[in-house]
Amino acid sequence: MTSTAIVIIDNREPRRIVLECGIPIWIGRDPACQIHLDTPSVSRKHLCFELTGEHLRVTDSSSNGTIVNDVLLKGDSRVFEEPDVSLVAGRHTLRIRRVLHNLRERSEPSMLPLQRPEQARASDPGLTAEERRRIRRRLLDQLDLAKLDRAELDSDIMRDKVIAALRRILSEDEAHARQGSMLDAVIRDLADEVLGLGPLEKLLADDSISEIMVVDCRTIFVERKGRLEQVPLSFTDDDSVRAVIERIVTPLGRRIDESTPLVDARLRDGSRVNAVIPPLALRGPCITIRRFSRKPLAMKDLVGFGSLSGEMAEFLSCSVKVRKNIVISGGTGSGKTTLLNVLSGAIPSHERIVSVEDAAELRLSQSHVVSLESRPPNLEGKGEYSIRDLVKNALRMRPDRIVVGECRGGEAIDMLQAMNTGHEGSLTTTHANSPKEAIARLETLCLMGGLELPVRAIRYQIAASIHVVVQQSRFSDGARRVTSIAEVCGINDDGEIDIRAIYEFRLNRVDAAGKTHGTFAATGFLPSFLDDFLTHGFWGESGLVCPS
C-alpha cells in the first residue's frame, strides 16, 4: 500500500513525500535522514513516521522528545487516524498532512501558495499584539532572562525552559488553552523573539533567500533569485525589532541608540547586517540582512550561473595569479563581494593576505589570512578605527596581498599607494556603473584623503596602480553578470585615464517573462600584460589556460 504526505517545515515550502506501508520516513540531524534538519536541538535520528494500514504511526527516538498534537512523545510510538499531524522537534515545527486515497483527486498541489500577510495575521489564534506583549512580560518575570548572558540564552536547555514556561502561561488562559496545537507556531515565535531573532529565524533557515528587509515591525520583504516578495511574518512591536538589533550588535562591541541610530554588523554565519532606528527611521526600526551562500562559491559556479563565460573566468583567474591589481565595480546588490570572494580563491595558498572590511563578510579559503574589521567610537567618542587606519596598519604587517572589502573614502589613496609599492595582486571593490565611472570615483575618493594632491598626480597614481577593472551588474530579472572586463592603459594625450574593454556582455533581448538574454564576447583588444601569462605558462596553443 502506498500513500502521499505533504510535509511543511517552519511554514516554508511544502514537500511531497511518497509513503509505503511499513517503511519509515526519518527526520533528524543525520544527513541520511529523508528530512534533514541541521539544528543542534534536533537529534541525529529524531523521529520517524510511517504508513500502517490507513493510519500514520509516529515514533520518537530523540533525547528530549517530540511534541505531537500538543502532547509530549518521548521514546514511544503513537498511531493517528486523522490525516493531519502537528510536530515540534527541537526548534522546528512540522506539519504532516497525509493525502488519503479517496481524496487523491482533490489533494493539494506540491507547491502551496504562500499566505498573504493579512491572511497570516487573520489566522493567528486569537493573540493580539497587546496579548503577546503581556505574555512576554510574564515570561521575562518568571525566568529573569535579563540576568543571563548571550551564551546561556543560546543554549537548547534555556529554549526548552522558555517553551515550557510559555505553555504554562498560555494554559492558564482557558481561551488560549482550547486552541491546542494551533498555538505551537505562536509559542515558537515568542521563544524566537525572546531568545533569538524572532521571525527572522525562519528566514535565515531558508537557503533560497539572499536578502532580508525589515521595513517596520509588521512588514518584511525578502529577495529570492533577484526578486522581491513580501512574507507573511511580523514582529510583535517596535520594541521586539529593537531587541533583535541589540542582540546582533552587542556581542560585536557595537551599539545603537538615539545618538548612534545606525550600525553595520554581521551575524555568526557571516551575513551582513545594517540597522537603523528612529529618529532616522521614520516608520520604526528597520533591518537589512545581506546573506551569502553557506558553501563558498567557486569560479565554476559563477560560470554555471551564467554570470560570466568560461574564457572570462580563466582570464580573471590568471590575472589574479600573475598579481594584477583588480578593482571590482558595481551597484548595490550587484554581487561585488561575491565576485571578490571568488577571485580571492585564485591567490596562491603560500601568500600572506591581509583583509580589511567595515563589517567582516569575506570568507577567504587560504590558511594565512589576517582579517581586520573597523570599529566605531565608544560612548566617550574614543577608540574608533576606520578603514583607512586599518589599511595603513596592514602595510606594517608584511602582507603579500591586501584585500579591502570596499573603498568608500580617503583610504582609496592609501590602497593605491599599497598597490604601487610592492603589494601587487591586491583586490578591492567600489560603487560605480561602469569602468570609466569607477576610475572617476576613485579620483574623487583620493581627493577626500586630505593630501591636497593635484588631479593629474592622482590620475598618474591610479594609472600606475590599477591594472584591471571588472564591472558587475544586476539586471531587471535579478540576474547578476560581469558586463565588462577592462584594462587601465595609462594616461592619454588629453591627460585622462585610458580604459580599454577586453570582454563585454551584450544584451540582446528581454523576453515576455522579463528574462534578459545576451552574449559574452571578447572585444578584440589584447591586454598589455599577455607576456606575464606567457611567462607563467598560462598561454598555449589552445589559448588561455589557468591551472587550478
The enclosing H or E element of 122 equals helix 117-122
Whichever domain contains 208, its CATH number is: 3.30.450.90
Pure H helices in 345-493: 387-394, 411-419, 435-447, 455-465
Same-domain pairing of 508 and 481: yes
Same-domain pairing of 267 and 133: yes
- Does the pLDDT value for residue 137 go beyond 80? no
Same-domain pairing of 15 and 72: yes
Nearest-angstrom CA–CA distance, 101 and 92:
28
Same-domain pairing of 266 and 327: no
Among 65, 84, 106, the domain-final residue is: 106
Residue 544, in any domain of the structure: no
The enclosing H or E element of 60 equals strand 55-60
Residue 507 dihedral angles phi and psi, to the nearest 5°: -75, 125
Going by C-alpha positions, the residue among 350, 314, 301 that lies closest to residue 480 is 301
Which amino acid, 175? A
Q: Coil, strand or helix: which one is 542?
A: coil
- pLDDT digits 0-9 by tens, 344-387: 999 998 999 999 988 777 888 888 999 998 887 776 778 888 88
Among 238, 263, 290, the domain-final residue is: 290
- Does the pLDDT value for residue 172 go beyond 90? no
Pairing of strands 401-404, 353-357: parallel
User: How many domains are contained in the chain?
Assistant: 3
Same-domain pairing of 157 and 248: yes
Burial of 534 (0-12, 13-18, 19+ CB in 10 A): exposed
Same-domain pairing of 178 and 248: yes
- Does the pLDDT value for residue 114 go beyond 70? no
Among 290, 307, 333, the domain-final residue is: 290
Nearest-angstrom CA–CA distance, 61 and 44:
9
Same-domain pairing of 304 and 269: no
Same-domain pairing of 214 and 256: yes
Contact by Cβ (8 Å): 344, 364: yes
Same-domain pairing of 58 and 203: no
Same-domain pairing of 348 and 261: no
As a 3-state breakdown, the chain gives helix, strand, coil percent values, each rounded to 5, of: 30, 30, 40
Task: Find the domain containing 48 and state its range.
Answer: 2-106
Whichever domain contains 54, its CATH number is: 2.60.200.20
Same-domain pairing of 85 and 131: no
Name 287's bridge partners: 214, 275
Angle between helix 435-447 and helix 455-465 axes, rounded to 10 deg: 130
pLDDT score recorded for residue 108: 39
User: Which residue reads 541589540 in cell numbers?
Assistant: 246
Confidence category of residue 124, pLDDT binned at 50, 70, 90: very low
- Does the pLDDT value for residue 120 go beyond 60? no
- Does the pLDDT value for residue 287 go beyond 50? yes
- pLDDT digits 0-9 by tens, 306-351: 999 999 999 999 999 999 999 999 998 888 989 999 999 999 989 9
Same-domain pairing of 98 and 141: no
Contact by Cβ (8 Å): 464, 323: no
- Does the pLDDT value for residue 125 go beyond 50? no
- pLDDT digits 0-9 by tens, 71-95: 888 888 888 887 788 888 887 888 8
